Amino acid sequence: MDLKELYQEIILDHGKNPRNLGKFENFNKDAEGYNPLCGDKVHVYLKLNENKEIEDISFEGHGCAISMASASIMTELMKDKKNPEVKEILNDFLDMIKQSPELKSQLIKEDEKTKLMSLSGVKQYPMRVKCATIAWHALASAMDYKKDEDNSEKFI
């Protein structure tokens, strides 16, 4: 295990200065992700237009550097993305965090991949995987990909 791999500069930066933090006024979708193990919460807010395009996205919450950085990077990435794309990226990210060595989706640009891959260090820390995925599960709920009680890891 290597701490440097887990706490990369990009994670420390996003963890300390999360982007898109705070509720915005005219959101029309929202959902909360919760980690019962530690009590951490991440609430995701969306402004979704009639084409199911994310016009605006933000989050509120408290948690560790990993969960805050992951939420921050996710909100940056998902802005202006449309419905089927959002789902594809979401599944690709969760697959990478759990098992896949790389991100496969063509929808993610190279510099975005680098940012997301900075979170891959949690693979070596099974107890921390949930920290990296909490915001993504909240987004899945807000996009109506799953019901709150649904714990499935793949959204179809």
Smallest distance from other proteins to CB 63, Å: 6
Are 80 and 54 within 8 A, CB to CB?
yes
Residue placing its CB nearer to other proteins in the complex, 9 or 110: 9
Smallest distance from other proteins to CB 41, Å: 7
Q: Where are the beta strands (DSSP E) in the chain?
A: 29-35, 40-48, 54-62
Query: Which residue in the block uniquely carries the two structure tokens 């975005």?
Result: 112
Print burial letters for 74-97: b (CB count within 10 Å at least 16), e (below 16): bbebbbebeeebbbbbbbbbbbbb
Residue placing its CB nearer to other proteins in the complex, 74 or 131: 131
Smallest distance from other proteins to CB 38, Å: 4
Residue placing its CB nearer to other proteins in the complex, 40 or 92: 40
Contacts to other proteins by CB under 8 A: 1, 3, 6-7, 12, 16, 37-41, 62-66, 125, 128, 131
